[in-house]
Amino acid sequence: MPQMSRQDPLIENHTVDYVPPAERHGKARDLFTLWFSTNIAPLPIVTGAMVAQVFHLNLMWGLLAIALGHMLGGVVIALASAQGPRMGIPQMVQSRGQFGRYGALLIVFFAALIYIGFFISNIVLAGKSIVGIVPSVPVPASILIGALSATAIGVIGYRFIHSLNRIGTWVMGSALLAGFIYIFAHDLPADFFTRGGFNAAGWLATVSLGVIWQISFSPYTSDYSRYLPADIGITRPFIATYLGATLGTILSFAFGLVAALATPEGTEAMVAVKQATGWLGPILMVLFLLNIISHNALNLYGAVLSIITSIQTFASQWTPSIKVRVVLSGVVLAGCCVVALGTSADFISQFIGLILALLLVLVPWASINLIDFYIIKRGAYDIASIFRADGGVYGRFNLHAIVAYFIGIIVQLPFANTSLYVGPWANLVEGADLSWLVGLVVTCPLYYCLATRPHIQKVRAARLGYSD
């Protein structure tokens, strides 16, 4: 298996370019540790507490809905991740093979916006966590500490991110297990197993939340598998990513649910974690802080790659250097810190609402990406065309993909149930956002039919002749 030499720089030297076979390294299990560790964090724990506090499910029905939602959504993130070793390029660059060189720009823009949104939300959350641990540290200084730490990890890049998460899997996994043991080893409230119950709306809302949670990672999963050797195949990266992403989130959601049920009704989620875990609580808070910072490096890394992809669209011969990536990381950091320092008290909830609304644009993209890669092209892409100024065999715009994409967004709107927009049919199942299901059901067959029409096949054949 090809290995990186000892003379390789500490800072990753590839950005959006193709990773050649001689520079491939790593094993499929690295994907398990990355996605497992990444998802043991405060945000999924807080979201898991909502299962009892907002959706009013009891322990049994809550755990069942959590597991089912993440197991279904995990298929999407795992299929996206398994593309990395075959392609050797970031996920957003690969979108040129489906949407055309310029057609992919809109997808890249939305992806960058989501990354930046999560980065800002997490540095605010990290700042608040630091203040909670060391109250004497001012909030602005805490936010800057969290932001600079995540930026340092993101700048160093791929290998360091994977190394941190290999360690994080053991540390965070053990800490969460210790938290479960502590809670169940002590007296539980009399209504621990009976609080809440079953209601169809809350159960479907929880399942949908799990599916959406997993899909939200899909735009950058192959960014972290593109260095794996091409001969590793599809199955091993799929299984490693699927197990890591689903087990990590199921455990975190379940921990939030258990902590909520182990404390008086109405207790705020992270306060509930502290109360339910006793002396272990402060240790968990410190570990969660470190995990927020590590996870946030992925958001910065993805944002910078998306920005570079956008610029390179108009400068096909440009190959950005390490220095360019460092400078862009600094610019993103500065802009995000300005926004974070001026945020209101309820900024995180508002911004998460925006991000969840933006997921309306991710579902059609994920549908097109998976249908195109696994069914239509079966992993056979012309990498050289993806980097051509004219798009090569994929052209500047692939209208069949663009049309399917926008129709996929439009059909979701009547069913959308977000903080920014509520469609007229949003409450077919009260409290559950089922727009993602409509998006998948419509976009997948629509794109397949458009992309496999005889006329399209003739055009593709002609372009392949041109490419040769």
pLDDT in tens, 332-349: 888 888 887 876 566 556
How much is the pLDDT for 439? 92
| Residue 217 in this model has a pLDDT that exceeds 80 | yes
| Amino acid code (one letter) for 68 | L
Closest CA to 237 of 95, 379, 407, 428: 379
- Most confidently modeled of 6-15, 67-76, 311-320, 424-433? 67-76
Mean of the per-residue pLDDT values for the chain? 83
CB 51 within 8 A of CB 57: yes
CB 56 within 8 A of CB 271: no
pTM: 0.86
How much is the pLDDT for 137? 82
Pick the CATH number of 26-359 from 3.40.50.1820, 1.10.4160.10, 1.10.3720.10, 1.25.40.10: 1.10.4160.10
Token pair for 324: 């360019």
CB neighbour list of residue 218: distance below 8 Å, 6 or more residues apart: 76, 77, 80, 91, 362, 366, 369
Closest CA to 110 of 441, 409, 413: 409
Percent above pLDDT 90 for the chain: 31
Percent above pLDDT 70 for the chain: 88
How much is the pLDDT for 346? 62
CA 200 to chain centre: 27
Query: How far is 171 from 318, CA to CA, in rounded Å?
Result: 41
How much is the pLDDT for 115? 83
Band of the pLDDT at 3, cuts 50, 70, 90? very low
- 189-199 pLDDT per residue, tens: 999 999 989 99
Query: How far is 108 from 126, CA to CA, in rounded Å?
Result: 27
Place of tokens 């192959």: 222
| Residue 146 in this model has a pLDDT that exceeds 90 | no
Average pLDDT score over residue span 137-150: 81
Query: How far is 281 from 211, CA to CA, in rounded Å?
Result: 29
Query: How far is 80 from 217, CA to CA, in rounded Å?
Result: 9
How much is the pLDDT for 24? 84
CA atoms within 13 A on the CB side of 223: 30
Average pLDDT score over residue span 225-232: 88
| Amino acid code (one letter) for 228 | L
Token pair for 257: 């649910």
| Amino acid code (one letter) for 371 | I
Band of the pLDDT at 441, cuts 50, 70, 90? very high
Question: What is the enclosing helix (H) or strand (E) of 207?
Answer: helix 200-215
- 28-60 pLDDT per residue, tens: 888 998 899 888 888 888 889 989 988 899 999
Band of the pLDDT at 456, cuts 50, 70, 90? low
How far from 411 is each of 109, 361, 435, CA to CA, in Å? Answer: 21, 11, 8
How much is the pLDDT for 287? 85
Helix (H, G, I), strand (E, B) or coil at 417: strand
How much is the pLDDT for 376? 93
| Residue 162 in this model has a pLDDT that exceeds 70 | no
Band of the pLDDT at 106, cuts 50, 70, 90? confident
Neighbours of 141 (CB within 10 A): 12
Query: How far is 39 from 355, CA to CA, in rounded Å?
Result: 17
Band of the pLDDT at 159, cuts 50, 70, 90? low
Closest CA to 298 of 287, 309, 308, 306: 306
Q: Which range is least confidently modeled, 155-169, 213-227, 253-267?
A: 155-169
How much is the pLDDT for 6? 41
Token pair for 136: 């004497």
Average pLDDT score over residue span 62-70: 96
> Angle, to 10 degrees, between the axis of helix 105-133 and the axis of helix 42-53?
90
| Residue 324 in this model has a pLDDT that exceeds 80 | no
How much is the pLDDT for 25? 77
Band of the pLDDT at 7, cuts 50, 70, 90? very low
